[in-house]
Amino acid sequence: AQSVTQLGSHVSVSEGALVLLRCNYSSSVPPYLFWYVQYPNQGLQLLLKYTSAATLVKGINGFEAEFKKSETSFHLTKPSAHMSDAAEYFCAVSLNTGFQKLVFGTGTRLLVSP
C-alpha cells in the first residue's frame, strides 16, 4: 500500500534562506506525487506534481521538487524563502486505482522569520 512520510512537523528558516521540506513515499508501483500548500483556515492549493515525465518538477511560487526513485523521495525546495511562504505543506501520493485517490502525509509547517 502507498504511504507518505513527511519528516519534521515544523521547519523554521530565515527570509532569503533555502527551504527544504522532506517527503518520502512508499509504493509498490511507480507513484504519482503531489505537493500542496495550505494557508491558515483555507483549502489546499496545488504547488506541483510528478507524473513520470521529468524528474525535476517546477511549480508555482518558485518551488520545485525532484523525484528520486533510488531514495524514494520527493523533497520540496525553494532557493530563497519569502515571508509569504509561511504555511503548511502536504505531500501526497496517488493510489493507482484507476480513480484519483490521494494519501496525504501529516504535513510540515514552514515558519519564516525576518
And the C-alpha cell for 75?
523533497
Considering the complex, state which of residue 98 and residue 114 has its C-beta at the smaller distance from another protein: 98
Tell me the pairing of strands 10-14 and 56-58. unpaired
Minimum CB separation from another protein for residue 107, in Å? 5
Tell me the pairing of strands 19-21 and 64-68. unpaired
The yes or no reply on residue 90 touching another protein (CB under 8 A) is yes
Distances (CA, A) of 60 to 40, 63, 64: 18, 6, 8
Considering only the stretches 19-27, 38-46, 65-73, 76-84, report the one whose residues sit in contact with another protein under the rule CB under 8 A: 38-46
Residues engaged in binding another protein (CB under 8 A): 9, 32, 34, 36, 41-46, 49, 51, 90, 94-102, 104-107
